[in-house]
Structure 1
Amino acid sequence: MRIGPYSIHPRVVLAPMAGVTDKPFRLLCKGLGAGLAVSEMTISDPRFWNTRKSLHRMDHAGEPEPVSVQIAGTEPAQLAHAARHNVEHGAQLIDINMGCPAKKVCNAWAGSALMRDEALVGRILEAVVAAVNVPVTLKIRTGWDADHRNAPTIARIAQAAGIQALTVHGRTRDQHYAGRAEYDTIARIKADLRIPVIANGDVDSPRRAAQVLRDTGADAVMVGRAAQGRPWIFREIAHFLATGEELPPPPLAQVREILLGHLRALHAFYGEEHGVRIARKHLGWYAKDRPENAAFRAVVNRARTAHEQLELTGDYFHALEAGLAPALPDAA
């Protein structure tokens, strides 16, 4: 799959997820096989660009290309300005968020709420495409609700405006993440467009990825929640698409090293105090299918230093490797 001058290979993409797809996680997923990793949503209002959160979200130093940055907002001129600002700070692809179902985003008439105003969608897309000299992509849902599935119309508007790739999450906004993804809608959109289409929704295994590509005709698949605590899913999908064979699960020693590397990256990127807090949710995701999960989370969530967090996590996985019940002492 190509987006402008960039070849996306393998054709499996990390979805933008607020509070998840920060730079450490993007680098991890790219290293484990993602062909493209989209940043978490950045706000288009310039009043917030110098906050600690925004500065972290706009840090792309050392990130392998192409660097894809998602922007969110509702005013065409403001989104165009945000696109230019992010390109100046390293973005090589600009992705526009019209898929987020969160209430606080939709209440501000951003995210998937924009799909309710097709004329505004057109003005936003035209303004952003005209503002930057890098490819602009778009992420949408199938519609606002079951009675307003207008994704095919939005897709045609996007192509006409110069959007160079379209991601479709196969649910309406009111479904959030419930129910089954509508792959038939994605297939209809793909059949109608010339630009690449990326299928999103319920891609949680190599076989499902292959099935979605087959059923929709999409050019790539996007993985979101299934990558939380399992970033090696990109390598597994890429291998299956290339060979038709499933890789065995990574051994515990490899999981331990991936996790400890991720923790160290979070501590370095955010600083110790903030990094330790952010790491807690990732630790929960990594351990969710492991024995003593609840006890493990209770302990590591009380760790206050990077050293303590790393030591407790390493000890936990060493015990699992040895076939022992993990000893989980009280955190100091």
Structure 2
Amino acid sequence: MLRVAWSKAYNHRLPDKHRFPMMKYELLPEQLIYEGTIKEDQLFAPGLLQIEQILRAHDADYWRRLSSQSLSAAEIRKTGFPHSESLIERETNIAAGTVECCRFALQYGVSFNVAGGTHHAFTDRGEGFCLLNDMAIAASDLLANSLASKILIIDLDVHQGNGTAQIFTGNKQVFTLSMHGARNYPAKKEQSSLDIGLADGTDDKLYLKILEANLKSVLDDFQPDFAFYQAGVDVLATDKLGRLALSQSGCKERDRLVLQLCRECRLPVVVTMGGGYSEKINDIVEAHANTFRLAQDIYF
């Protein structure tokens, strides 16, 4: 059974200029339930995230200052939105959801977090709407509890997973694959285990060809026993920030390729939603919903 992490805390209310991207966290589960892709009882509310889990991926001083809302104005500005107690609660809730999804992925093969994929959070700072790196926290938790020994993070958001790359620099148990827009944010890229920078305007055919060749190679060479998939839909041609040219069908084929390969390799996978900034909210929700629909078809 597909288990999906979701909490009302995900729908944190921000000032108007930040509110639009947050709408998907409310609309996506409603759409999935309405169309019958999932039932309401497949959603689970994450529990509490333990401090020791956070500190496996983040510096203690950063967490102390973040949780007490004592970051500098410059640090807050770099994250992209104003901080509050409820925002910090949201971030810890999302990370807890990804941690708990790991247990369901081990049981059922795949699990989803309606949010997550906060790959711009570093050990000691937040950037780009990311305060805590949920995939890094969850991967570190798996390793600490001997639930996995070799983890692959497949990051297909249009922006490089710079925070994730930095957190796992030198860690031979975690392979970070980031396929992103070469000229997109962040301007200064970190070094992932494998970085694939794509030219502006990359279309479905070229994108899928590059992804298939590289992902198959990594799976063969690294031989992971667990995976995270950051399935950002800001690769769409309709995305305001993406600069790539994938169609809805191309984005869906991307997800099919990743999920089928994980299934064939008997590789448990946790899927997080990542970014999406198309002008029409329907385009965002539909692209994300396709990922869930495919998981149901492939795994169940």
TM-score, with structure 2 as normaliser: 0.35
Which structure has the larger Rg?
1
